Amino acid sequence: MATEEQGYKIPEAFLEAFGSTFGQQEADAFCRSVNQPSPVSIRVNPYKLNTPPIGGKIVPWCSLGYYLDTRPTFGIDPLWHAGAYYVQEASSMFVSQYLSELSDDTKIALDLCAAPGGKSTLLRSLLPKTCVLIANEPDRGRVSALHENLTRFGSDEVIVTNAYPNELRKSGLMCDIILVDAPCSGEGMFRKDPNSRNEWSMGSVASCSIKQKEILDEAWRMLHQGGILIYSTCTYNKEENEAQLEYLSEHYDVAKIIFPDLKTPEAMGISKGERDGVYRFFPHHTVGEGFTIFALQKAGKKQKVSQEQRNRKRETQNSQIPSILKDSIREQVNITNEGDEFVYLSPQGKVIADLLIKARVRVLSKGIILGSVKGKDFVPHHSWAMSNMIADQAPYPHIEVDEDTALAYLKRDTINLAPHKGFECITYKGVPLGWVKNIGNRVNNLYPKELVIRNRNAVSEELPKLF
Ligand code: SAM
């Protein structure tokens, strides 16, 4: 709990502005709530788990979200490392409300401000399987966490990029759905991250509001006719929210505001904003952090799949594909090689990746790396074990391990398995953790060095028993 005595004071100017917008009573209730502990919630990965967490209470606006009574040390839970769930504050999960009715012709989605990946992983869980998701983050320091989180979650049909919105736009990329979870003044984080109170100023509201408009200008230009733009911030003020909706409506051809198919948001403590279609989450009304969101549809008719994309679908099989991949993977057309590495990505995903690379956009990853040929072996890559779509097509035995072995594996320690020869997939509670190479008298642990459990000391703590 953060207090004034600890130096975490809610800025006077913020309280004044908040009071004059929403009323003094609301400001008082807000102040009381931000000095309470934050609620804890997780969102399950529907491709990896189909059970709710033990004791979890459903987040009313997201069928994959659950509140927990306590905050366990998630970083020592093998299931967290396996991407079976994502720790995400509940209000943000409201994005799911705009995804439930997407048609199968939603081909390309863009998460423009994506790190560390909370909403990208949510999008990937709910977008049609064949829709390509471009998860973009311009900040070099933050993009690796995005990449890591998406890999854990099973990065099927995902392209991770590190670019500013104008760089993406210049590539000619056009999307059916774009999420702008904009950089903002962070008011909604006053409880969860008390330091954000010290970083807030009226000046940052004003400068964020200008930056958000610039991002929206670019996003709108990358949106297909008939496409959907979802905009959110973790703030309450109108400059960063309602004013952005007004800006878009005044400057661009908006077909309509999209209303989530939720009968009674008020009963869930969700407040309606000053403009129709704006939803606001206050910590004193909802069980979640501060958040505001709206979605718009661009005017015009939806376009058909381009000729180039259709041609790609008829692409011939790559003759260099190793026989192990030829024998195990059904969608051969999705396999290509890049140097030693074999990658799984749909023809449509390849078209998009090529487009971005040609425009010199920094692409961190595209699709699933299946593995590479090393000498006589085909060595499977970690992202194949994590993959939602084709993990089950990997031609290697699954070896279920107990808690201690799972932790030893995630620390890259030596583990003992029954003698056998070849690559094996280690699973915990049925969910893949990664590969080993069993050479009979010894097991080579292939868990990636960069993902090793960082908090080694915490491993002596009791493991979260969530599933
Ligand atoms: N969507 C993320 C999630 O759910 O995990 C959180 C995104 S955070 C609110 C905003 C992100 O926007 C930050 O990672 C920040 O680095 C990024 N950002 C900053 N300036 C940007 C810009 N000009 N264009 C796009 N993104 C930007």
pLDDT in tens, 12-30: 999 999 999 999 999 999 9
Q: Which two tokens stand for residue 333?
A: 């057309």
Q: Domain 91-191+200-298 is in which class?
A: alpha beta
**pTM, rounded to two decimals:** 0.95
Percent of the chain with pLDDT strictly greater than 70? 94
Summary mean pLDDT of the chain: 93
Closest CA to 450 of 158, 160, 149, 153: 149
Q: Residue 420 Cα, ligand 1 centroid: separation in angstroms? A: 46
Residue 311 pLDDT > 50, yes or no?
Answer: no
Q: Residue 1 has what pLDDT?
A: 57
Q: What is the mean pLDDT of residues 190-201?
A: 94
Residue 234 pLDDT > 70, yes or no?
Answer: yes
Tell me which of 62, 131, 184, 234 is the catalytic residue: 234
CB of 181 within 6 A of ligand 1: the answer is: yes
As a whole number of angstroms, the distance between CA 462 and CA 466 comes to 12
Q: Residue 147 Cα, ligand 1 centroid: separation in angstroms? A: 14
pLDDT band at 7 (very low <50, low <70, confident <90, very high): low
116 is in an annotated binding site: yes
In degrees rounded to 5, what are phi and psi of residue 179? -105, 125
CB of 193 within 6 A of ligand 1: the answer is: no
**β-strands 175-181, 158-162: how paired?**
unpaired
Q: Residue 464 has what pLDDT?
A: 85
As a whole number of angstroms, the distance between CA 371 and CA 367 comes to 12
For 361-402, the three-class secondary structure string (H helix, E strand, C coil) is CEEEEECEEEEEEECCEEEECHHHHHCCCCHHHCCCCEEECC
31 is in an annotated binding site: no
The 10s digit of each residue's pLDDT in 394-431 is 999 999 999 999 999 999 999 999 999 999 999 999 99
Q: Are 35 and 10 in contact, with CB atoms under 8 Å apart?
A: no
Q: What is the mean pLDDT of residues 153-157?
A: 92
Ligand 1 test: best mutation among 62, 96, 113, 362, most atoms within 8 Å of CB?
Answer: 113
Q: Residue 42 Cα, ligand 1 centroid: separation in angstroms? A: 21
From the candidate CATH numbers 3.90.420.10, 1.20.1250.20, 3.10.450.720, 3.40.50.80, the one assigned to the domain spanning 396-462 = 3.10.450.720
Residue 173 pLDDT > 60, yes or no?
Answer: yes
377 is in an annotated binding site: no
Residue 131 known to be catalytic: no
DSSP assigned state of 84 = S
Alpha helix stretches (DSSP H) within 83-158: 118-126, 140-153
Residues of the chain with CATH 3.10.450.720: 396-462
As a whole number of angstroms, the distance between CA 107 and CA 295 comes to 18
pLDDT band at 367 (very low <50, low <70, confident <90, very high): very high
Range 121-152 burial, b when 16+ CB lie within 10 A, else e: bbbbbbbeeebbbbbbbbeeebbbebbbbbbb
Q: Residue 349 has what pLDDT?
A: 97
Residue 253 pLDDT > 50, yes or no?
Answer: yes
Nearest CA to ligand 1 atom 15: 183
114 is in an annotated binding site: yes
